[in-house]
Amino acid sequence: MDWQAAYQRALPYQEFLDQYATPAQRQRWQAVYDRVRLSDAQRTLLSGFVRQMHLLCLAAAWCGDCILQGPILQRLAEGTTTIALRFLDRDDHPTVQETLILNAGRRVPVVVFLSEDFYECARFGDRTLSTYRKMAHDRLGPSCPTGVLPPGPDPLAEVTDEWLGEVERVQLLLRLSPRLRERHRD
């Protein structure tokens, strides 16, 4: 997959919503965006990032998981100049969709983390661990043999923290990359 070409076809957050979301969907995305809050510690962490990274999110404006996670990604991108975030509509980009199939399904959102020079570094999606824990708790209850933890008091904050953890993990991967350290002489 030519990730640089895919990224160049992708749209910034608001343009993606303007093109693909209905007015009702835009309101749902906005309602989540308005609720996402980054703590001082999260903003400090983001401000310390030094490696440029591109996040390419395969999404669908109608998708409930995208409505939850897309605004979180946008808030994280707004927290640092080192994250460039773009969105592709799942249905308008079948080649990317096929490349990002998870567990034999066309799931969204899926984020491809790309280095400054568009090498793929990681993929993350379609839901975070806390979301799956809540689903397992609700749907499987005591019959779930894995000892699923109950949902926490603030699911939005948990999902935000999990996305930030993945973004930080990739930032550290890039920061410690011998190839990039040689390039940047650090």
> Taking Cα atoms as reference points, which of 17, 46, 42 lies closest to residue 30?
17
Report whether 74 contacts 57 (CB < 8 A).
no
The residues with which 57 forms a beta bridge, in sequence order, are 87, 111
pLDDT band at 176 (very low <50, low <70, confident <90, very high): very high
The residues with which 125 forms a beta bridge, in sequence order, are 110
Q: What is the pLDDT of residue 152?
A: 75
The answer to whether the predicted template modeling score (pTM) of the entire model surpasses 0.95 is no
CA angle 156/71/118 to nearest 5° reads 120
Q: What is the CATH number of the domain that holds 11?
A: 3.40.30.10
Write the pLDDT tens digit of every residue in 53-82: 999 999 999 999 999 999 999 999 999 999
pLDDT band at 110 (very low <50, low <70, confident <90, very high): very high
Q: What is the pLDDT of residue 142?
A: 65
Residue 176 domain boundaries: 3-184
Tell me the C-alpha distance between 167 and 182, whole Å: 22
Write the pLDDT tens digit of every residue in 125-151: 999 888 887 887 778 776 666 656 666
Average pLDDT of span 112-133: 93
Say how many domains are in the chain: 1
